[in-house]
């Protein structure tokens, strides 16, 4: 059964670029049945959707982050990645990767989450 695992630096300096990778095991990111997404949660706050990607090449982003974010899929490595540019302290969050079956509309498999702190 599918498992997802986030990886990447836990500390990023302000104005720099945050890069995270989500590695899938027990399933393939090539499947056209699913979207692959990133969601974040600032300390003590709610869930914020960042964006989704699909094997078709389609990508969708949060309107407030669109100018700074990109999500890509690497089927050869069975991974998908998040890049967030020009980070500030407001980007300090737990970042989750997750799978979304298009037929269900719900993120049904999640990674455990990775903490990213933006600080000099």
Task: Establish if 47 lies at the interface with other proteins (CB under 8 A).
Answer: yes
For other proteins (CB under 8 A), the number of binding residues is: 22
46 CA to centre of own chain: 16
Distances (CA, A) of 79 to 86, 89, 91, 98, 105: 23, 27, 22, 12, 21
Report in angstroms how near the CB of residue 25 gets to other proteins at its nearest: 16
- In this structure, the chain runs to a length of 120
- Residue from 63, 76, 119, 120 touching other proteins (CB under 8 A): that is 63
Looking at 10-18, 67-75, 84-92, 97-105, which segment touches other proteins (CB under 8 A)? 97-105
Q: Return residues touching other proteins (CB under 8 A).
A: 37, 46-49, 52, 60-63, 96, 98, 100, 104-108, 110-113
């Amino acid at each position: 059964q599918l498992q997802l695992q986030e990886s990447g630096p836990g500390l990023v300096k302000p104005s720099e670029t945050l890069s995270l990778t989500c590695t899938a095991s027990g399933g393939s990111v090539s499947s056209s049945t699913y979207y692959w997404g990133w969601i974040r949660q600032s300390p003590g706050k709610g869930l914020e959707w960042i964006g989704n990607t699909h094997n078709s090449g389609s990508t969708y982003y949060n309107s407030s982050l669109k100018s700074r974010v990109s999500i890509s899929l690497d089927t050869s490595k069975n991974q998908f990645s998040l890049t967030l540019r020009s980070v500030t302290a407001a980007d300090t969050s737990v970042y989750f990767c997750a799978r979304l079956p298009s037929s269900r509309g719900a993120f049904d498999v999640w990674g455990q989450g990775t903490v990213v702190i933006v600080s000099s």
